[in-house]
Amino acid sequence: MYEDARKAYAEYGIDTEQAIERLKTIPISLHCWQGDDVLGFEKKSQALSGGIQTTGNYPGRARNSKELMQDLDVAISEIGGTKRLNLHASYAITKEEVERDELEPRHFAAWVEYARQQHLGLDFNPTFFSHPMVKDNLTLSSPNEEVRSYWIRHGQCCRRIASSFAKELGGHSLCNVWIPDGYKDVPSDRLGPRMRLKESLDAIFFERLEGVIDSVESKVFGIGLESFTVGSNEFYNAYASHHPGVFQLLDNGHFHPTEMVSEKLSALLCFAKYVPLHVTRPVRWDSDHVVLLDDELKEIAKEIVRNDAIERVLIGLDFFDASINRIAAWIIGTRNMQKALLFALLQPSLEMRKLQDTAQFTKLMALNEEIKMLDLGSVYDEFCRREHVDVGMKWFDRIQDYERTTLFKR
């Protein structure tokens, strides 16, 4: 079947061998928080807060670092290609209780060793939610100086931790700042919170650190924060444009329903060295559903590939579904991201660009539609075979066995 697909693509001037080899090298950062419903390992029991929520009570949630790493092992073994791991600060592995503004690289030494064993790069996120020092749904924009200072220190120490990841493992570590700050009802002062956020970010990013790629992530709203979000798209876009070395991260669930991140990528690529990306699937709101191979995912992947931006768009996943098997969610979402990238790699992009530039729009439409019908599945199956991971639905049987023998016994 692969040989037939290879010949069919070749008729359009597309080299499937080249596409498979390129797909192997594209890193995708898996998010640790899918495995435990974003609860983390802090000993103080804190309900998930900050305008986000996880729904469902499927059995088998990872309850500690050992179980989370064990589950990640299973997921990673069924995902080919280059992978990274994205951590939140709340996943520090400590014997004693450590305040978030006192975290150090040593508190993540076990994760570094895990990443080394699995040949993963590590990305990082300060955790500005689910904590007693989030006062009135505010952190870096709080009018309370004690609160604001606490979270500034947290952001600063997290950047140092990210730098240590880069030093220990080589390459870079993306350190992404997202805060929940906002108001449920219409505020009387919008400028004040944003000026405080600007000053807080300046303090966090002041120190130059090797190996860190800094980013800021906007959002339209959160549950209980419907009327005003301090860190909006416009704010972070302006902040990043005035601060070299800080980049705006795009989460495709953090915009209005009619806005598409696929359309925004080329705009930022005109100006930014890097465009960090969180891939999720919003359903009516930023609901963080498992990524499917839908039209928007394909468009995002096409923008990355046809704009020669594979090294510049830093792909991470961000979804958390507690209503299904959490390991299966990792595998399905990551494989779908890979399938979308492969779909993009198997496009005659140069020919399509030429047709657009010469106003041959009828032929462009016809070519676009014909390419959709070629056998992407057989090429992806060949990629899986070469990466020594299960083809098709074979991986699901293994996950069900692991579910019976391990997850259901937790």
Supply the residues annotated as catalytic.
Answer: 178, 217, 219, 251, 254, 278, 286, 288, 318
Handedness of CA 197, 268, 53, 77 (dihedral sign): negative
Task: Identify residue 403 by its one-letter amino acid code.
Answer: E
For residues 131 and 291, give the distance between their C-alpha atoms in angstroms, rounded to a whole number: 28
Report the phi/psi class of residue 223: left, alpha or beta, with left for phi > 0 and alpha for psi in -120 to 50: beta
Q: 225: which DSSP letter? A: B
Is there a contact between 109 and 73 (Cβ–Cβ < 8 Å)? no
Distance CA 226, CA 138 (A): 14
The amino acid sitting at 381 is D
Q: How far apart are CA 311 and CA 293, in angstroms?
A: 22
Q: Which two tokens stand for residue 30?
A: 């898996």
- Cβ proximity of 323 and 311 under 8 Å: no
Q: Among candidates 391, 367, 366, which has minimal Cα distance to 377?
A: 391
Q: Position 37: which residue type?
A: D
Distance from C-alpha of 324 to C-alpha of 205, rounded to nearest angstrom:
38
